[in-house]
Structure 1
Amino acid sequence: MKFSELMDEKHFADGVFSTDIPESWGQGRTAYGGLTAALCARAAEMAVGELPPLRSVQVAFIAPAAGSVTTEARLLRRGKSTSFVEAEVRGEKGAATRGVLVYGAGRDSTVKVDDYPMPDVQGPDGLERMEITPMHPAFLSNYEIAPCGGGMPFLGSDKGEMQWWARAQDESYWGSEVGVLAIGDLTPPAAAPLMKTFAPVSSVNWHIDFLTDDLSTEDGWYLLHTKAQSAGDGWSSQDMGVWAKDGRPIAAARQTVVVFS
């Protein structure tokens, strides 16, 4: 099922966004985390409407989200320029994902900082594309991926870091807020390359800040970078970034991950 089909407004009725998540968007026992974050944003768009650009999202991955899920969003506060919206994805056993989304209009300002350079990597053109096999999480098949730096999961690298070029197979949401949310969490946890054999890794939360309201990128390509800042006692904390193909910073994020190894 295409991403645009999952996000179709026909799923929204009586304030509830109802979705059947197919196995092709699965990640182990649950739906791909970027998808559930995108569902929160899509429900906010449908339920609240007339929102300024999305600035920040805080997501807690509480429990597996699979099969038939519902997403509801409610306005917490609407100020002169900033709105706060809460959204929750629920499955058969209750809360699965909960997000708080911050929307804010731009304004004239004397403060300007542009110090988030894109890593120095080769562009996606000419790079070998990742072949998605049954051994990979199913949701990756919805994206075209060109690894361009760092290690790969479970190969015992000495660095907990990955860099991927990626773009959605479905062009419908290229350059959109829900599209960037969906692709921004695509890479496996940064601790995975440090592991010599397969073991489960599970995202606990995700905080992502949008650095611009221009989310467009050439041909749908985004550079994704993730780096483990610390790991121990079965937990890891990582930095994450998203850049457009022309080098413009799109988003900066952090995530906490449970490591079962």
Structure 2
Amino acid sequence: MTFSSLLQAVRSNPANVVIPQVWGQGRASFGGLVAALVYETMKAQVIAGRPVRSLAVTFVGPAEPGVPISFEAEVLREGKAVSQVLGRAVQKGQVVTLIQGSFGASRDSVIGVDAEPAPQVTPAEDCQELPFIPQVTPEFTRFLAMRWAIGAMPFTGKPERQMGGWVQLRGEEQPQTITEAHLLALVDAWPPAVLPHLKMPAPGSTLTWTIEFVQPLKQLSSNDWYLYRAHIEYARDGYGHVAAALWTCSGELLAISRQTVTVFA
């Protein structure tokens, strides 16, 4: 199933969605996909004209591929401009992902501050792509193309603070209009930025994740490349704290991300 077909599945029947093994990430389903499915369920409960501003994601436990998941959403409060919504993914009676989201209409304001410019990097067509290798790279990477432009690849023993490059969806039957759900997958596709520090493979995953979206979202296509950059602010005792951002290929800011990651090495 493609990313878009899974989004359609949760819209049609959020109480019973099965994520196939091809979207796996070790013993879990790809976190960016699970977050996107929870978000779709939350968005359906929000008043029109209130785009998502921020999501605070906690991956409580692994969402197992091939096992039905129920996606639920609850509106906590609706103010004059902002809706606060709680979403969750439940599997085998246990919460596996929890998201608190803020959806807000635009307001007139005298404040206007432009985003800082995107980093200058090698064009996507000139960058090395992470290949999908069965039994080596995560299963879900067959659906997401990543081309390194910043820092080193995982497990190369290069202790740099920054990592990133270009990313896009692949495997879709036809070009898709990019939504916030797609941005969740594009940002979370990247491995923890601490993994290039290791000289040999070891497990790593996201524990908590906060992502903020620049609104209004521009008209974007899944055929386009998007630029991702992560910066390690601090790492010790098996945890890393990483700030990141995602831009269009023309340098327009789309999302600001912050993750606490775990690494078992």
Does the TM-score normalized on the shorter chain lie above 0.5? yes
| 2:37 pairs with 1:33 | no
Q: How many residue pairs align between the two structures?
A: 259
Give, in whole Å, the separation in 2 of the partners of 1:99 and 1:173. 25
How far 1:49 sits from its partner (Å)?
A: 5.4
More deviation, 106-115/245-254: 106-115
| 2:224 pairs with 1:187 | no
Percent identity for Structure 1 against Structure 2: 32
| 2:228 pairs with 1:230 | no
| 2:216 pairs with 1:213 | yes
How far 1:17 sits from its partner (Å)?
A: 3.9
How far 1:9 sits from its partner (Å)?
A: 4.9
Partner of 2:149: 148
- What is the identity, as a one-letter code, of the residue corresponding to 2:241? S
Q: Is the 8 A contact 1:226 1:240 kept in 2?
A: yes
Give, in whole Å, the separation in 1 of the partners of 2:47 and 2:3. 21
More deviation, 137-146/170-179: 170-179
Q: Is the 8 A contact 1:217 1:245 kept in 2?
A: no
Partner of 1:159: 160
Q: Which runs of 4+ in 1 moved over 6 A?
A: none
Give, in whole Å, the separation in 2 of the partners of 1:78 and 1:221. 36
5+ long unaligned stretches in structure 2 = none
Q: Is the 8 A contact 1:17 1:70 kept in 2?
A: yes
How far 1:145 sits from its partner (Å)?
A: 2.0
How far 1:57 sits from its partner (Å)?
A: 0.4
How far 1:104 sits from its partner (Å)?
A: 0.8
Secondary structure of the 2:259 match is: strand
Give, in whole Å, the separation in 1 of the partners of 2:44 and 2:5. 15
Distance 1:130 1:234, change over 3 A: closer
- What is the identity, as a one-letter code, of the residue corresponding to 1:79? G
* TM-score for the superposition, normalised by structure 1: 0.93
* TM-score for the superposition, normalised by structure 2: 0.91
- What is the identity, as a one-letter code, of the residue corresponding to 1:253? S
- What is the identity, as a one-letter code, of the residue corresponding to 2:22? S
Match of 1:42 among 40, 43, 50: 40
| 2:68 pairs with 1:65 | no
Q: CA RMSD in A?
A: 1.8
**More strand per residue:** 1
Distance 1:11 1:160, change over 3 A: same
How far 1:51 sits from its partner (Å)?
A: 5.2
